[in-house]
Amino acid sequence: MSTLRYEDRGASADKNEVHAAIKGEDPGLFPGAFCKILPDTLTGSPDHCVLIHADGAGTKSVAAWLWWKETGDASIFRGLAQDSLVMNLDDLLCVGATGPFLLSNTIGRNAKVIPGEIIAEIIAGYRECAEMLGKHGIEIISGGGETADMGDAVRTLVVDSTLVTRMKRSDVVSGDKIRPGLTIVGFASFGKANYEAKENSGMGSNGLTSTRHELLSRHYTETYPEAFAPQIKDLAYTGPFRLQDKLPGSNMTVGEALLSPTRTFAPILAKAFAEYRNSIAAVFHNTGGGQTKCLRFGKGITYIKDNLFTPPPLFQVLKERSRLDTRELYRSLNMGTRLEIICETEAAQGLIDIAKNLGVDAQVIGRTEVGPEKNKLELTVDGQVLEYTLG
């Protein structure tokens, strides 16, 4: 059976071309940080900095559209708002920002296939997610947004947003403290957190291009031409499942698992920074690049991950039934561990306790060691060590 790479369907896991394109850009005040950090040009304070971050739900919106077409349930689009918001929020939390955050959202739609009721559900989703976060001390203030009708450019729907915040420079988690001898604590992307309404499959908002086409069947190619690009027709919807089929090993359907709203770790990180900020060297949100995200941070480091969570059912099914081999799966998906904190060893148990008190599983998944000039990752999966480097 031939294997596929994420790029074969027109996506990119590590975005090497993007990183090359921005190589000459100003890296900001803290070049090693997870997000670009700017001077506080809003007030001119030398003690503060400003962050602005844009991201979205990606091709998860296509899966939501298919669900709606087959079930008539428009409420599924509320989850896309959470996906879009969390993909920004949790990246900003990786540098120590805890808000308040200003939100602006952008919806691009093909108005011939996306009616106004769906727009209303997305807007309601942003409101609901902000209210949930507010209960945990994370303030999100909406400044409105834009809905653009782009039928010539968008086949179904794009749900994006931007967050802005201001923080003290002294509170920035810059990544400069990454060194050999630190502990890596991993936080599960699956299960049911105390602040979630239902069980989470762990999917997040990355890797949906591969996951959707590997799991869902040719029924979707034949019935919904809007749901794939013609250029990848031979690679579109090549799996065995319909959205309403039960996901093996799970209480969810395949559609529910694919569309499980991206978990935010904001309530955990807010408490972690309050108690252990000085012991935290870095925080990684394993979105684009999956388990290899860490390679872009620190210098001369070997990241050892030899105690990852057992992948939850959605990722197990992908391992067993897709044409994506194990190495590719861990390069493009979180595989059940979507947040990592690199910390002093003595802080690890406290961070684990914070997460577990909020209903999120956490454990020591590895450590940092001396590495080559180009960072290296050694990932132990099913007794096999997979090695990754940049490039």
The pLDDT assigned to 1 comes to: 41
Q: How far apart are CA 183 and CA 276, in angstroms?
A: 14
Weakly modelled stretches of the chain, pLDDT under 50: 1, 19
Return the closest-CA partner of residue 226 out of 364, 97, 114, 370: 114
Its domain, for residue 338, covers 6-20+35-389
3-class DSSP state of 100: coil
The pLDDT assigned to 323 comes to: 86
Q: How far apart are CA 285 and CA 291, in angstroms?
A: 9
In the numeric block, which tokens belong to residue 273?
């920074």
Residue corresponding to tokens 């790029």: 7
Q: Is residue 1 part of a domain?
A: no
Q: Are the C-beta atoms of residues 81 and 90 closer than 8 Å to each other?
A: no
The pLDDT assigned to 26 comes to: 86
DSSP 264-321: P-HHHHHHHHHHHGGGEEEEEE--TTGGGGGGGSSSSEEEEE--PPPPPHHHHHHHHH
Beta-bridge partner residues of 161:
55, 105
Q: Is residue 26 part of a domain?
A: no
Return the closest-CA partner of residue 252 out of 192, 191, 201: 201
Q: How far apart are CA 99 and CA 64, in angstroms?
A: 30
CA distances for 229 relative to 77, 212, 225, 226, angstroms? 21, 13, 8, 8
| Average pLDDT in the chain | 94
Q: What is the pTM of this model?
A: 0.93
Q: Is residue 29 part of a domain?
A: no
Q: How far apart are CA 31 and CA 37, in angstroms?
A: 8
Count CB atoms within 10 A of the CB of residue 223: 13
Q: Are the C-beta atoms of residues 282 and 175 closer than 8 Å to each other?
A: yes
Q: Is residue 338 part of a domain?
A: yes
Q: Are the C-beta atoms of residues 343 and 164 closer than 8 Å to each other?
A: no
Q: Is residue 147 part of a domain?
A: yes
Return the closest-CA partner of residue 57 out of 92, 91, 81, 89: 81
Q: Is residue 30 part of a domain?
A: no
Would the CA dihedral through 20, 26, 30, 36 be positive or negative? negative
Q: Where are the beta strands (DSSP E) in 128-202?
A: 140-149, 157-168, 183-188
Count up the domains in the chain and report the number: 1
Q: What is the CATH number of the domain that holds 214?
A: 3.90.650.10
The pLDDT assigned to 157 comes to: 96
The pLDDT assigned to 126 comes to: 98
Burial 207-219 (b: 16+ CB within 10 A, else e): bbbbbbbbbbbee
How many helices (H) does the chain have, and how many strands (E)? 11, 12
Q: How far apart are CA 366 and CA 387, in angstroms?
A: 14
Count CB atoms within 10 A of the CB of residue 42: 11
Q: Is residue 340 part of a domain?
A: yes
